[in-house]
Structure 1
Amino acid sequence: MEFIIKDKNDDPLFIANCEKIIRNCIKRWKPRELFVISIDAIFQSEWAEAREKTFSFWSLGDELRIPLFHPGFDSSISIYHDSYKGYYVLSTISDYIRKRKEGEYRLFEVPYSHLKQYNFSAINNGLLIWYSKKSLIENEGVLMFHYTNGLEFKYFHVTLTKSENWNASESLNILKSEIQEIIDN
């Protein structure tokens, strides 16, 4: 299964290496919920350490907002759920919002809009993955992972560059050699 939505401005080798890293993290952590978020710009490793409210989402109408980046930077969000059959099933954003509204949430009236804002409780077994778009244009791309199982929080950030044949040129909270081993296998 492929988790990244390919774009004409994405280098196929960058995307292939990202997919390998994503599959490795899924295999290692086995999250019940998986969110793959594309960002229209390169983002620095400092964002990886910003974890306050990272796993608490909110919606405004049919839009799902995941904290960390300004909503204008997000170009797409794909949501997957672990299936009892052992693979991930794509869920629509509207289905996810509807499901979350059935659970715990806080409703806020937004004075400047007729839409209602719903703040959801934090997920407790999930993996958030951000990746940068436009790798063909930028000649580099980044991946960032935030994982929680309710008891612990893990994160890392990786920069892949074209000059390194789309291998890791920088990493935070994971060894470059570990990323390279994942890419090579």
Structure 2
Amino acid sequence: ELHLDIIVDRMRREFNVEANVGKPQVAYRETIRKSDVKSDYKHAKQSGGKGQYGHVVIELSPMTEEERKSENVKDDFLFINDITGGIIPKEFIPSVEKGLRETITSGPIAGFPVVGVKVKLVFGSYHDVDSSEMAFKLAASMAFKQGFAKASPVLLEPIMKVEIVSPEDYLGDVMGDVSRRRGVLQGQDDSP
């Protein structure tokens, strides 16, 4: 917070720029821990006229470090189309990916972005008349939400390594302050 205060003060003094500054917010993220979690969702709606039908089976896994560094990864999310033989027509595959990408912007746990997840489209089905891009997009979104819940979801909180130098008289106060902020003391050095 101190760094931000200094920068805002400098903007005001040196550049004569006013800024509305709020309280800093923690950049939480959501991810999963369990691998190879299958999720099957069939979106089927019929209301008199043309219906909606889209069926997807996806497999969720945490991404490996190699996958995270891959050039195919966009927004810390990897989509793999593992469909063979036209089970789902090619024109609906981008809709599946779009539904997934829209869903990861707001995770199911607390609404924070989802990161580090690999989703593999492994199976599905379609209807000649009732299938549409929207139906497959919705099916993918719902399959992801259901699968995410089964894949040991976790909330990620940023951590920081801090070194504090303090006189021994204030050691108790410093340790208490660090503990109140959910900090973990890893060591103590008594050297002057």
What TM-score does the superposition give when structure 1 sets the normalisation length?
0.24
- Bigger relative contact order (CA 8 A; separation at least 6): 2
Question: Going by fraction, where is helix more abundant, 1 or 2?
Answer: 2
What TM-score does the superposition give when structure 2 sets the normalisation length?
0.23
Question: Going by fraction, where is strand more abundant, 1 or 2?
Answer: 1
